[in-house]
Chains A and B, each alone.
Chain A
Amino acid sequence: MINKKVANVTEAMQGVKDDMTLMLGGFGLCGIPENAINNLVQMNVKGLTCISNNAGVDDFGLGLLLHKRQIKKMISSYVGENDEFERQMLSGELDVELVPQGTLVERCRAAQSGFPAFFTPAGYGTEVAEGKEVREFNGKMYVLEKAFEADFAFVKAWKGDAAGNLIFKGTARNFNPAMCGAAKITVAEVEELVPVGSLDPNQIHIPGIFIQRIFQGKDYEKRIEQLTVRKKL
């Protein structure tokens, strides 16, 4: 077993510097690497380029980094729930690259899998395709999209072991698996760090080879963005 376990979040964040490009898992506030984000706030690193499907809300998730002006550029598919984000974007303080969601995840997966680029139909004929190579296959038009290049990927899983194996829960899986191994260093935080050998190899979602550092996360808030319920009759 090759040990990936580090003592805590501080150790896991070693090497993160100003002006780096970071990938952060999660969809909305679901499955976000809360410990890593909170630590980035404390480290006060600046000039970051963040690749993440969303930008958090005003006072949680990546919204915390936006609030402190630590982010120079966001690469996301949907940023609708964050007033501060919209303000910084419309005023030009924040550089934003909006990417179709399927393209966003595939640009992560391409980096993870060793593909420099791929063709997708998403965005053809729209401003997303401007300046990009387009090509026809079987009578349909496709846009060439490139793999991301990132310094760190921060992902969050439900369970993991010191070998770096990960299991996700529910829809908290989302962008996390595709970001594992898609950056120079992948840091996984888990709700439960379990003894090596206790996870069933049949059930592993991400093998440890994609992970460089893993740590037991703490104090998960797991905030719900839109609480929708029905009454018991």
Chain B
Amino acid sequence: MLDKTGIAKRIAKEVKDGYYVNLGIGIPTLVANYVRDDIEVEFQSENGVLGMGPFPFEGEEDADLINAGKQTITTLPGASFFDSSMSFAMIRGKHVDLTILGAMEVSEEGDIANWKIPGKMVKGMGGAMDLVASAENIIVAMMHTNKAGESKLLKKCSLPLTGVGCVKKIVTNLAVLEITKDGFKLLERAPGISVEEIIKATEGKLIVEGDIPEMTL
């Protein structure tokens, strides 16, 4: 089974040379740490920076330089700043190549819910609805089940939706799955996890064809 770092490491393998990438808050933020250093990638943060670098050294933090998670960051050579409108022009206009975000639920049709639990938790959608409505390449990073052990990969989402039919790939602590018109297609197993365990943890339709390889990180 993967931990959050493991999920980030596996997703980092999906990041290709020349990609502009938007990382959501949480596990997705960790992905930047594990991208191969022999490829050129630029990270976009929707609050208005392209070419995001690592966290600043202690004492060098700047209150005017943060990411979408409100964390202090640095920029890399070639970076640029812009306003929120231009930032979403990059996103809505499909100039960003890959979007990685977290989710509370994903349905077998690629619907995603990640912004609200009615009556309990309302944090808001932030930029997630704009991202999922426009991005053509969306990877969801999440745990396969919730704290109560219930599947987060469902036939239909029970929570208010963030977007419909938009998720392409999911990396969980148990598996890598692709959304197809027929349901969740199992691509890879996490180290030490059996196909049976994945079937048990998946409520939506799961397609298992042939031998499912164990993922490499």
Q: With a CB–CB cut-off of 8 A, which chain B residues contact A120?
A: 92, 130, 133
Contact A126 B161 (CB under 8 A): yes
Q: How far is the CA of A170 from the CA of B67 in the complex (A)?
A: 11
Contact B122 A171 (CB under 8 A): no
The main secondary structure of chain B at its interface with chain A is loop
**Of the residues A106, A225, A231, contact of B58 by C-beta under 8 Å:** A231
Q: With a CB–CB cut-off of 8 A, which chain A residues contact B87?
A: 102, 105
Contact digits for A161-184, partner B, Cβ 8 Å, 1 yes 0 no: 000000011111111111000000
CB contact under 8 A between A170 and B125, given known A27-B47, A27-B84, A230-B54:
no
List A residues 189-233 near B (Cβ within 8 Å). 205, 222-232
* Stretch from A4-12, A16-24, A71-79 contacting the other chain: A71-79
Contact A101 B64 (CB under 8 A): no
Cβ of B34 within 8 Å of any chain A Cβ, yes or no, is no
CB contact under 8 A between A225 and B124, given known A122-B133, A123-B129:
no
Contact A101 B133 (CB under 8 A): no
Q: How far is the CA of A119 from the CA of B98 in the complex (A)?
A: 23
- How big is chain A's contact interface, by range? 35 or more
Cβ of B163 within 8 Å of any chain A Cβ, yes or no, is yes
Q: How many chain B residues touch the partner (CB < 8 A)?
A: 57
User: Whole-angstrom distance from the CB of A139 to the nearest CB of chain B?
Assistant: 13
User: Whole-angstrom distance from the CB of A170 to the nearest CB of chain B?
Assistant: 4
User: Whole-angstrom distance from the CB of A183 to the nearest CB of chain B?
Assistant: 16
Contact A98 B124 (CB under 8 A): yes
Contact A177 B58 (CB under 8 A): no
Contact A226 B66 (CB under 8 A): yes
Give the nearest-CB partner of A108 in chain B. B85
**Of the residues A100, A177, A227, contact of B125 by C-beta under 8 Å:** A100
User: Whole-angstrom distance from the CB of A132 to the nearest CB of chain B?
Assistant: 13
Total A-B pairs, Cβ < 8 A: 187
Contact A126 B127 (CB under 8 A): no
Contact A102 B127 (CB under 8 A): yes
Contact B122 A30 (CB under 8 A): no
List B residues 122-170 near A (Cβ within 8 Å). 122-130, 133-134, 160-165
Q: With a CB–CB cut-off of 8 A, which chain B residues contact A171?
A: 45, 47-49, 64-67, 81
Contact B124 A77 (CB under 8 A): yes
Q: How far is the CA of A98 from the CA of B127 in the complex (A)?
A: 11
**Of the residues B81, B125, B134, B164, contact of A77 by C-beta under 8 Å:** B125
Q: With a CB–CB cut-off of 8 A, which chain A residues contact B92?
A: 102, 120-122
Contact B124 A28 (CB under 8 A): no
Give the nearest-CB partner of A109 in chain B. B85
Q: With a CB–CB cut-off of 8 A, which chain B residues contact A79?
A: 122-124
Contact B126 A77 (CB under 8 A): yes
Q: With a CB–CB cut-off of 8 A, which chain B residues contact A125?
A: 111, 161, 163-165
* Stretch from B68-76, B190-198, B204-212 contacting the other chain: B68-76
CB contact under 8 A between A80 and B48, given known A122-B133, A124-B164, A177-B85:
no
Task: Report 15 cross-chain contacts, Cβ distance below 8 Å, ordered by A residue.
Answer: A78-B123, A79-B123, A90-B120, A90-B122, A101-B129, A108-B85, A127-B160, A127-B161, A171-B48, A173-B48, A176-B83, A224-B61, A226-B69, A226-B70, A228-B61
